[in-house]
Structure 1
């Protein structure tokens, strides 16, 4: 089945351009011009990925990303932000809001398709068939679910893959570059600073269960998952 990509963009010319490129790449585009239309589109059929414009009428893309990361139906959908804001602080704000990648306008459709494919590979890749347990956390690989004790942990797709990697390599220290290579697939599009943002998001996800200290910073070296203090 073709991957369904929801384009949330208020400029019709950009929507049409992106939709044409997606069809040419063998994907199935759906389109929305604002937050209301986007919600209806997700309710009708959950997309495999969302292309989300930062500047939307009424509700910004940043606010939408935060909302979708809290809602069960949309929590696990990868999001790529389309933005004219190229400054580092804006990119970090987008990542912290819950997006998985960003593309700065103006962009080529060739670059956009490459980004989409990279994010889909990361989000729908093979994370193993078994169960992982450690430090009060449990990952159900086949179901793509995380539990703290018996409680389900709401988690975004990138944080899931990061946690899965950490738990399968517990007690080992990984640099930012190594994490990019193993978790993001060594994509040339992703900066090392992105790792720090997703580490913060992962810790914030685990914080309600007081398990955020399982993801530890090793000064001058990187990060590790450890059940030891």
Structure 2
């Protein structure tokens, strides 16, 4: 059983979500005011948050940024649930680092399936403690990443993306594969979001960002020694 925090100021929607999630065996906590969310997440330690964006007290985007900025809450998965159905709104939500984005009206069954997919991925992260490749160390248990012993601050989504790349070093990961592993689904909007997250990862890694290689027309791969690869290419 997982603990889900449902944040929505519309009682009918909160009741609908809670009813379906409880049928799936989850425990639900409902919050109606944005100002209550941070304390509720810290006190209850939910496994996932379903977050409406249009809330009294404080809007969902501001709440999400606060959750990601606080070390106590930054690793909690968040599904944004909103009436904002424009493609740009979805792109903005995913690029902020949300684990998923669902628009109203929605199917409670679809929401439940997306929650289950995210929880499965989250539980995978806790099973393997460390992944080490050259100067890179990925600490899955504590959601931390180091390069040459120096910690690099990553969002939850950036961490998940880098973890997939590091799990199979030198393997070429297609865009569809990365989208399924990190976001749980694939569409044109999410593809643009993937490219944006890769760009941000490279920027955060600085010079080490060259280890993430773009495979034109396919996807991305992580190369332990890109200098050697480049030299081999020139030699051939």
Q: TM-score range by the shorter chain?
A: 0.7 to 0.9
Q: Select which of 180, 195, 212 maps to 2:209.
A: 212
**Structure 1 residues 16 and 69 mapped into 2: Cα distance closer, same or farther (>3 Å)?**
same
Structure having the higher Rg = 2
Q: Secondary structure at the match of 1:121?
A: helix
Distance (Å, rounded) in 2 between the aligned partners of 1:200 and 1:127: 26
Q: Select which of 213, 226, 229 maps to 1:228.
A: 226
CA shift for structure 1 position 136? 3.4
Aligned pairs for 1:74-223 within 5 A? 74-125=73-124, 129=128, 131-134=130-133, 136-181=135-180, 183-184=181-182, 187=184, 189-201=185-197, 203-205=199-201, 207-210=203-206, 211-223=208-220
Higher helix share: 2
CA shift for structure 1 position 82? 0.3
The equivalent of 1:24 in structure 2 is 23
CA shift for structure 1 position 150? 2.7
Aligned pairs, how many?
225
The answer on whether the counterparts of 1:66 and 1:98 sit within 8 Å (CA) in structure 2 is no
Runs of 4+ residues deviating >6 angstroms: none
Query: Where does structure 2 lack aligned partners over 5 or more consecutive residues?
Result: 228-236
Q: Secondary structure at the match of 1:124?
A: helix
Query: Where does structure 1 lack aligned partners over 5 or more consecutive residues?
Result: none
TM-score of the superposition, structure 1-length normalised? 0.86
Cα deviation code 1:103-161 (max 9, x no counterpart): 11111211111111011112222576353233632112444432233333333333323
The answer on whether the counterparts of 1:6 and 1:32 sit within 8 Å (CA) in structure 2 is yes
**Structure 1 residues 203 and 128 mapped into 2: Cα distance closer, same or farther (>3 Å)?**
farther
**Structure 1 residues 127 and 215 mapped into 2: Cα distance closer, same or farther (>3 Å)?**
farther
The answer on whether the counterparts of 2:8 and 2:32 sit within 8 Å (CA) in structure 1 is yes
CA shift for structure 1 position 34? 2.2
Taking only aligned residues, the RMSD between alpha carbons, in angstroms, comes to: 2.4
Cα deviation code 1:85-114 (max 9, x no counterpart): 222211110001121111111112111111
Cα deviation code 1:64-83 (max 9, x no counterpart): 22221121111111110101
